[in-house]
Structure 1
């Protein structure tokens, strides 16, 4: 299909853009210098490591699958596409411009390209996945995915609400707010205003076995696998660099959470790699449909006439 080829090109371009931005950032050669605190820079470094080593290859792999017309490609594409939209929106808008030194505004076209390609690939994959008809997960797996998404809501609430309550005081005390207030409010807005409601609604839809809940299920579970890896990279970088806000327990916890999400993503996506791997209407499917039936001496197919081995 034309859309699968378009999606493939978008994903390959997104992967190359993410790799370029990460290589130019603090994890790579350090050409991009972000307007943020030392702790914020440690977090960006860890996030760039995950982006370069995990997200960019995932984009390119999903893009190659999409170019080949594989039906798993749209579901796999949602995760890195949303990761890019989420991450690069924060890297563009979450810096302390005018307050801290840096030059990342000079690389706005590159960062914006990653954001725009992420949004575009997410929309394209969402349109394609509706025509590929991904199989419904088994009831137990569906309930597990729903419970996982409800857990995401609880984790986000536990992570953000105490800090939010502190920031609303007359004299906030938490370092994460005092060091980078712009990034603080942007993350709170995106996580509590967008991610948590989407996870809750999708979990509720999965419990009702609603077909519309399947695309956001792939998107949220897959994206949280990548985001979990990114946060784990941030936590490890903070430990290595002796950041005052570093926590070994936090790093270990998010590492375990990332592995759990990766396992769930694998189980959810494994049926997409079955025998019928071509989406409806793809070139390979049309070629297969055009092949004449092969049968016995009379030209009829044995499976149709019932004259098989039995």
Structure 2
């Protein structure tokens, strides 16, 4: 398998379009501007509906957050891919949901269950009871569906994919992981360590999932199942947020083991488990030869191969 990129600048595009529309930086800036613009409109509409007021129901708050997460990111991505890049949106093909999407859901559940199982073996995770009446729907909508789709489109579908087209896979892994970790820095209970852990265990892992599968549904499924399993099932804070799960639990021990107030994502156990999976995915990518080189290196190789020999 050779290195693959989803978009290539049209050969007949004038220079101004190459720089202001089709270049990696331009497309990222255009996407970000659309997200902010559409997000502002959506937010204004939700305020008018009263779904963001203090008197709104928990479900209305969840639907408002879900709308903010999805409408701006999804609509902007549709415009980016269909109108600017003018290509088929293979990475979000509905045909891959039953396969890659389901596999991602299963992987997210298994990976975090392994993390919790190890924390239990090390004496850090404790089940105190069962909360059969927990209101699980808002958390599933916001932390599961909303975060899974919205954050994966933004971080892997736009940032990783487009940076990879320009700077290559290695830089794309580093930049998207740093961005993903930094985006969680201001969460409740966050610290420099928790952001670094998120960048390595989730930022790199999810980027490699996309690199290997070339479908966002695998990333979305894994991300959503990770959050739902962590919060809704095991009752552990999701990236510092409050979690009321089916299991009433507590974590003890030093923060480097338990993850502290941020949750198990800041535990060295989660870091070790996810890093192991990332290494396995990286081995697959290297064996396939799918690591994308920087654009200037690809152009130089193409030019050399196209030069006739005497």
**TM-score normalised per structure 2:** 0.29
Structure whose CA Rg is larger? 1
**TM-score normalised per structure 1:** 0.29
